[in-house]
Chain A
């Protein structure tokens, strides 16, 4: 398992995007642009309220191709132009209560004229932003990943 792949309770997605970093960062921090792309293919953003600053909240509704509404919400923790955005993210249930919150870190790095976008989503770091915890947690789930691999083979 290399550093670019996810351990079992962390998600890492990396993409080289054929656009300069300035534009990629803007696409994440301009509410009008975010509403155009955030969501799976065929989904339409029907409501968007985004306060893009540290501590600011966001809430959006996406409508599926079959007409089902899905609400997502969160809070921005860091906005560091043009290199990093950190926010919490949760889906709401049918009653509007947020489900389990994920901490999402998006980093934008220059890659020649293009941009390397890395998205890291962690299941349990929201309550413990402290870096001290990070090592232990990561290694815990590396071991868990190994364990799962072994379990599958037997």
Chain B
């Protein structure tokens, strides 16, 4: 129920890998299929080494894999860690839904009290 009871280590690694707009854009590009480093670098005003650095971070976090077979070593998305993040956020949904249930109860009390004190709106 409480979000931080989720396993934190892998999540932390995933979050720090995702906490960068370039890396998220790279992942978004990989959603439509594997791509070479050169192709991934194209939309950015960034050197190939800079892009490679980002790819290493993503690879370490298990968000992408790089093929050993082909010489151009294409990158491919691995969605499992993203699914963990999505599940983690879902826990927040339960947290908020239950809080809002209690908020509704609380506001019913507040309005009953206001009415009793005659401060409620007349219409």
Contacts and interface: CB of A to CB of B under 8 A. Distances in A.
A41 B101 contact: yes
Given A19-B111, A123-B18, A127-B19, A144 B28 contact: yes
Given A8-B89, A18-B108, A100-B15, 9 more contacts: A13-B96, A24-B107, A37-B106, A91-B4, A117-B100, A127-B19, A128-B21, A136-B28, A147-B31
Nearest to B101: A41
Contacts of A133: 21
Interface string B103-123: 111111011001000000100
A93 interface: yes
Interface in B50-106: 77, 79, 82-83, 85-86, 89-90, 92-106
A77 interface: no
A9 B86 contact: yes
B48 interface: no
B31 A27 contact: no
Contacts of A37: 99, 102-103, 105-106
B95 A40 contact: yes
B27 to A, nearest CB: 7
B25 A6 contact: no
19 contacts: A6-B93, A8-B82, A9-B85, A19-B104, A19-B110, A23-B110, A27-B110, A40-B2, A40-B98, A92-B4, A99-B4, A100-B15, A102-B92, A119-B96, A124-B24, A137-B21, A144-B79, A147-B31, A148-B79
Interface residues of B, number: 46
Contacts of B21: 128, 133, 136-137
Contacts of A64: 2
Contacts of A23: 107, 110-111, 114
A129 interface: no
Given A91-B3, A123-B15, A124-B19, A33 B106 contact: yes
A124 B18 contact: yes
B111 A121 contact: no
A152 B23 CA distance: 24
Contacts of B28: 136, 139-140, 143-144
